[in-house]
Amino acid sequence: MIALLVAVPLAFGFATVALPKLSRYILPLVTLFNLVLLIGFIHPVQVLEIGKWPAAYGIVLVLDSVNYPFLIFVNLVLFALSISAMFEDKLGVLLLVLTAALNGLLLTGDFFNSFVFLEIIAVVAYVLASQNKNYYAAFKYLIFGSVSGVLYLIGVVSLYVYAGTLNMAYIGFIASPEYVQVAGIMILIALLVELKILPLGLWAPDVYSNGSTVTPVALGSAVTVAIFYLFSRIFFNVLEPVKPLPVYILSLISVLFAQLAAMRQKTLGRALAYASIAGASTVMAALSSGALGVEKIASAAYLYLLNEAISMFILFTIYGYLNHKGFKNDSVAGIAFSLASISLIGFPLTAGFWAKINLLAALFEAGDYILPAVLLAATVIEAGYLIKWNVDLWYIDNDSQDEEREKTYLPFGAQVVVLLFALTLVIIGFMPDLITMHTDKIASHIFDFKTYFDTILKGGM
């Protein structure tokens, strides 16, 4: 039954290529079907051997308590995207393919399969990045992304040579640790390019700021979350960890650079893009803060990731529609925008507050003082420019163009989605245990290789 999560969007994607108008209505239905299937009918822990070949010989799809919440969240984001964004007809077919690929990436238990799904996501991302005539940025992204894909492929094939199979659990069991370090470095660099950590993530500001309502949301909220899952699965669960210190230092530098750069941008789109880079770098720094096995830090990092994804969804959608026109006409958009900015900064009574407090507390407990200092400095800078943008947009000065300015509202679907997400942020701010219960469960299972291996062993040979 798990295979339906991937097969149904793919079948509909193939089937609607000759009638693209239909795909716009099928996309919300398909993601809704996925959500219903996940919440109602499929429960962890399940292993599906595709084609009925035993685990080391064929491909396995694994659903356990680590990727179950991620699956629900990614399908929810895609469902919201299908209602709130505005795109041309043919793009709906690509978004169906993206749904199938994201679900497949979250479910897979085989390294080469993850490479194939990463490449599907990459090709769709290149086409999405070129919306609104943003071709040069899409080309730069293509060059960066292809070289990183090639590095990932070399890493995966080396793992096959060391272990003799391509299954994730068996590679973790068979391959010897010092060989795995070398392949791990290559896979790590490839994932860092996709996660926008700064010297490797130079493509991100131009791609995210193209002003479309689909691109930054799909890439920043859905794809980034899925690749953080893949990163956690590979480096915490399956393989022996690569030395975390270089990644930690790189992420810290990336946070500071991104926040400083965001302060100096003249357009809201580029500022938000740099804020998104900073958020992803913070999560990466938290996950690699040299404390392998400290579950509280990982749990707080996942809560931070959730807050980032939802806030960025709201901010980018509103920017895509309104594009520097103010909030005087559209107070719904204004309220949601301000709530999302407050959550991103981390004022009390929003999800961001609990994310940052939990993270700081866990880091102090583990004895790490550098990341909290950087995080506090980054928060101050972020508060600075976000408040400035909020004030600018609420009290926009347009006496000069009163007659010709058409009223730009958000369409009804977008209004509903954006308000609901902003409401969610406030609710999590009042009752954080709703989410911390789940992130604690993820964190407690993800460092446990033995359980993962036993699951695959029992489900297989």
Partner 1 sequence: MRRIWAILISVVFLHFFIGTYFPTLPEFGNIDMYRRVSFDYISKSTTTSYQPVEYKKSKGLEDGSANVVTSIVVNYRSFDTLGEVTVLFAAALGVGILANIKKRRIEFEEHKVLSVATGMIFPLILVFGTYVFVHGHLTPGGGFPGGTVIALGFLLLMLAKNEFKVTDAAKHTEQVAGSGYVLVGLIGMAVVGVFLANFLPTGTIGNLFSAGVVPIVYTLIGFKVGAELSSLVSDMREGDKV
Partner 2 sequence: MIYYIAFVLIGIGLYGIVSQKNLFKQLVSLTIIDTAVNIFIVALGYLHGAEAPVYSSVTPLANFVDPLPQALVLTAIVISVGTLAVAAMLLVHIHEEYGSVDAEEIRAAKEVIE
For position 59 contacting partner 2 by CB under 8 A, the verdict is no
Nearest approach in angstroms of CB 65 to partner 1 is: 23
Nearest approach in angstroms of CB 350 to partner 1 is: 37
For position 100 contacting partner 1 by CB under 8 A, the verdict is yes
For position 17 contacting partner 2 by CB under 8 A, the verdict is no
> How far is C-alpha 171 from the geometric centre of its chain's CA atoms?
26
- Cβ closest to partner 2, residue 126 vs residue 173: 126
Hey, what's the torsion of the CAs at 315, 381, 262, 260, to 10 degrees? -160
Q: Which helix (H) or strand (E) holds 72?
A: helix 67-84
For position 142 contacting partner 2 by CB under 8 A, the verdict is yes
Nearest approach in angstroms of CB 2 to partner 1 is: 9
Cβ(155)–Cβ(166) below 8 Å: no
Token output for 246: 């270089």
Closest C-alpha among 70, 107, 47 to residue 439? 70
For position 112 contacting partner 2 by CB under 8 A, the verdict is yes
Which residues are within 8 A (CB) of 353 and not within 5 positions of it... i.e. 6 or more apart? 343, 346, 347, 429
Token output for 410: 């958000």
Nearest approach in angstroms of CB 430 to partner 1 is: 42
Measured CA to CA in angstroms, residue 285 lies from 83, 200, 359 at distances of 33, 15, 11
Tell me which of partner 2, partner 1, none is bound by residue 384, counting a contact when its beta carbon lies within the kind-specific cut-off of 5 to 8 angstroms: none
Place of tokens 């102090």: 364
- Cβ closest to partner 1, residue 53 vs residue 412: 53
- Cβ closest to partner 1, residue 158 vs residue 210: 158
For position 146 contacting partner 2 by CB under 8 A, the verdict is yes
Among 4, 11, 22, 116, which residue sits at the site for partner 2 (rule: CB under 8 A)? 116
Cβ(350)–Cβ(429) below 8 Å: yes
Stretch of residues binding partner 1 (CB under 8 A), selected from 113-121, 332-340, 393-401, 445-453? 113-121
Nearest approach in angstroms of CB 264 to partner 1 is: 24
Q: Which of residues 35-64 bind partner 1 (CB under 8 A)?
A: 48-54, 56-59
Tell me which of partner 1, partner 2, none is bound by residue 373, counting a contact when its beta carbon lies within the kind-specific cut-off of 5 to 8 angstroms: none
For position 276 contacting partner 2 by CB under 8 A, the verdict is no
Among 158, 232, 338, 436, which residue sits at the site for partner 1 (rule: CB under 8 A)? 158
Stretch of residues binding partner 1 (CB under 8 A), selected from 112-120, 223-231, 288-296, 420-428? 112-120
Measured CA to CA in angstroms, residue 205 lies from 299, 329, 373 at distances of 28, 29, 25
Angle among Cα 327, 331, 334 to the nearest 5 degrees reads: 60
For position 133 contacting partner 2 by CB under 8 A, the verdict is yes
Q: Which of residues 79-98 bind partner 1 (CB under 8 A)?
A: 88, 90-91, 93-94, 97
Assign 108 to helix, strand or coil. Answer: strand
d(CA 84, CA 394): 22
Among 2, 81, 122, 315, which residue sits at the site for partner 2 (rule: CB under 8 A)? 122
Closest C-alpha among 92, 90, 102 to residue 29? 92
Q: Provide DSSP, 45-66.
A: -EEEEGGG--TTTS-EEEE-TT
d(CA 41, CA 20): 30
Sign for the CA dihedral angle at 259, 425, 40, 29 comes to negative
d(CA 106, CA 109): 9
Nearest approach in angstroms of CB 171 to partner 2 is: 14
For position 179 contacting partner 1 by CB under 8 A, the verdict is yes
Closest C-alpha among 89, 95, 85, 84 to residue 34? 95
Tell me which of partner 2, partner 1, none is bound by residue 15, counting a contact when its beta carbon lies within the kind-specific cut-off of 5 to 8 angstroms: partner 1
Radius of gyration of the chain (CA): 21
Nearest approach in angstroms of CB 135 to partner 1 is: 8
Q: Residue 415 half-sphere exposure, CB side, CA atoms within 13 Å?
A: 10
Stretch of residues binding partner 2 (CB under 8 A), selected from 38-46, 144-152, 288-296, 333-341? 144-152
Cβ(309)–Cβ(225) below 8 Å: yes
Measured CA to CA in angstroms, residue 303 lies from 68, 192, 197, 247 at distances of 15, 20, 19, 21
For position 213 contacting partner 1 by CB under 8 A, the verdict is no
Nearest approach in angstroms of CB 162 to partner 1 is: 7
Among 36, 164, 412, 433, which residue sits at the site for partner 1 (rule: CB under 8 A)? 164
d(CA 436, CA 414): 28
Among 123, 174, 335, 416, which residue sits at the site for partner 2 (rule: CB under 8 A)? 123
For position 126 contacting partner 1 by CB under 8 A, the verdict is yes
List residues near partner 1 by CB under 8 A: 3, 7, 10-11, 13-18, 48-54, 56-59, 88, 90-91, 93-94, 97, 100-101, 104, 112-113, 116-117, 119-120, 123-124, 126-127, 130, 158, 160-162, 164-166, 178-179, 182
List residues near partner 2 by CB under 8 A: 112, 116, 119, 122-123, 126-127, 130, 133, 135-136, 138-139, 142-143, 146-147, 149-150, 153-154, 157, 160-161, 166
